[in-house]
Amino acid sequence: MGETQLNVLKGLSLEVSQGEFVSILGRSGSGKSTLLQILGCLDVADSGQYLLDGVDVFSLNDEYLSQLRAKKLGFVFQSFCLLPHLNVLRNVMVPMLYAGVPVETREGTAKDWLIRMGLGHRLYHKPSQLSGGERQRVAIARSMVNSPKLLLADEPTGNLDSEVRDLVFDELRRLQKEENVSLIIVTHDQELGYKADRALKLQDGRLCGL
């Protein structure tokens, strides 16, 4: 948006293995969210190539892209992004609708994931009736229901106090190991960043080791 063209990512290269956990740190405005949006197929780079599970993402039309997003990607955001008018169970069922999962299995899968996240007693609550940590665990359940290959989390603990921050972070790491999902986390928190398999810093449009 706006008049001036801003080159945010420049000559950036990144390869992530299946099941690998990568953290990305960097100054505010360095382009971390931009990178995550491209990796999440929500935005397209002006040039370059992005291979996701062998698929050349930038060559896909909108229909294929939506399918790819629904089936191979999971998202967790700083602000949780739950739908306020739906209860917890319904929120977690939403991605299965987009992925074309048969309607009769959606509720059971969503329940299983919520129980796994320790929220079996909160199924019929609205997001506004939950704590920040609980909301983020709902968002994590929602991100995992379609067994994604790649889980993208932009400041997932940014709105949480320190105790809950560690819980949510450990939950993400546990899932990454148990489900062999690749996990890319953007964080301002060096201490959390160093817990990843690989900690990278985004600087001058490129990624380098921390």
Ligand X SMILES: Nc1ncnc2c1ncn2[C@@H]1O[C@H](COP(=O)(O)OP(=O)(O)OP(=O)(O)O)[C@@H](O)[C@H]1O
Contacts with ligand X by CB under 6 A lie at 1-2, 6, 8, 26, 28-34
With a CB cutoff of 8 Å and minimum separation 6, the contacts of 81 are 75, 139
Q: Considering beta carbons, is residue 114 or 207 the nearer one to Mg ion? A: 207
Rule CB under 5 A: is residue 33 a binding residue for Mg ion?
yes
Taken in order 33, 51, 66, 176, is the CA torsion positive or negative? Answer: negative
* Shortest Å, Cβ 120 to Mg ion: 33
Return the number of the residue (95 or 156) whose C-beta is nearest Mg ion: 156
Number of residues that bind Mg ion (CB under 5 A): 1
Closer residue to ligand X, CB minimum distance, 31 or 74: 31
Q: Residue 187 interacts with Mg ion (CB under 5 A)? A: no
User: How far is residue 128 from each of residues 75, 94, 165, measured CA to CA in Å?
Assistant: 20, 18, 19
Report how far residue 143's alpha carbon sits from residue 96's, in angstroms, rounded to the nearest whole number: 10
How far apart CA 25 and CA 163 sit, in angstroms, is 21
Q: How many helices (H) and strands (E) does the chain have?
A: 7, 8
Among ligand X, Mg ion, none, what does residue 30 contact (CB within 5–8 Å per kind)?
Answer: ligand X
Measured from the CB atom, the residue of 35 and 101 that comes closer to ligand X is: 35
- Residue 30 interacts with Mg ion (CB under 5 A): yes or no: no
C-alpha to C-alpha distance for 54 and 50, rounded to whole angstroms:
9
Which partner in ligand X, Mg ion, none is near 29 (CB below 5 to 8 A by kind)? ligand X
* Residue ranges in contact with Mg ion by CB under 5 A: 33
